[in-house]
Amino acid sequence: MSKVYIFLADGFEEIEALTVVDLLRRARIDISMISITGNIKVTGSHSIGVMADALFEDTDFNDADLLVLPGGMPGTAHLMEHKGLDILLREFHKKNKNIAAICAAPSVLAAKGILTGKRATCYPGFESKMTGSIVEDTDVVEDGNIITSRGVGAAINFSLSIINKLMGKDEALRVADNILYKGYK
């Protein structure tokens, strides 16, 4: 079974994070919500409190197949500043392991050099923060081991792209069909 970790910081975009969690669990992918705040309860950018599954400092990421960064503000800024997450993302990049980021969060990957020479997308207005990447104006971009997406409106396609990456197209289409979503091809 695939193992995915999604990182929550105060000010994360709830739809982007919870859509990923919900759809991956429907695909029977083991996904854990990890708080980088030092508290199990993390508050999203729209004042919705979410109970994470674990704290960053208590988690061993050796079994991870993919890491996910949701966007939102100031959540993205908190992800950028977290020292442990910085080390983890750089290790994943060196090992060419899977990383996904949505909305403003691809800018975190760009700032760490992870998107250098790669095609990517981000929330409109963040293009200038995508240093070294080839920015595309589309909802989801997959380039090798990196998946990026534009934001809330693309959260379902982003999630289905992660499922496709880990479980294959048939599973992504099965989940899309089960939620009556016709926008994934």
pLDDT band at 164 (very low <50, low <70, confident <90, very high): very high
Supply the pLDDT for residue 1. 77
Task: Tell me: pLDDT of 183 over 90.
Answer: no
Phi, psi of 151 (to 5 degrees): 160, -160
Supply the pLDDT for residue 20. 98
Give the domain CATH number at 67: 3.40.50.880
Bridge partners, 35 (sequence order): 8, 55
> Is 181 inside any structural domain?
no
Q: Tell me how many domains the chain contains.
A: 1
Supply the pLDDT for residue 47. 97
* Spatial CA neighbour of 85 closest among 37, 50, 41: 37
pLDDT tens digits, one per residue of 74-121: 999 999 999 999 999 999 999 999 999 999 999 999 999 999 999 999
> Is 145 inside any structural domain?
yes
pLDDT tens digits, one per residue of 53-71: 999 999 999 999 999 999 9
b/e burial code for range 107-145 (CB count within 10 A of at least 16 → b) = bbbbeeebbeebbbbbbeebbebbeebebeeebbbbbeb
> Is 184 inside any structural domain?
no
Mean pLDDT of 1-12: 96
Q: Which domain holds residue 11?
A: 3-173
Q: How does the average pLDDT of the chain come out, rounded?
A: 97
Mean pLDDT of 15-35: 98
b/e burial code for range 61-82 (CB count within 10 A of at least 16 → b) = beebebbbbbbbeebbebbbeb
pLDDT band at 179 (very low <50, low <70, confident <90, very high): very high
pLDDT tens digits, one per residue of 108-150: 999 999 999 999 999 999 999 999 999 999 999 999 999 999 9
> Is 14 inside any structural domain?
yes
Task: Tell me: pLDDT of 185 over 90.
Answer: no
Enumerate the active-site residues: 103
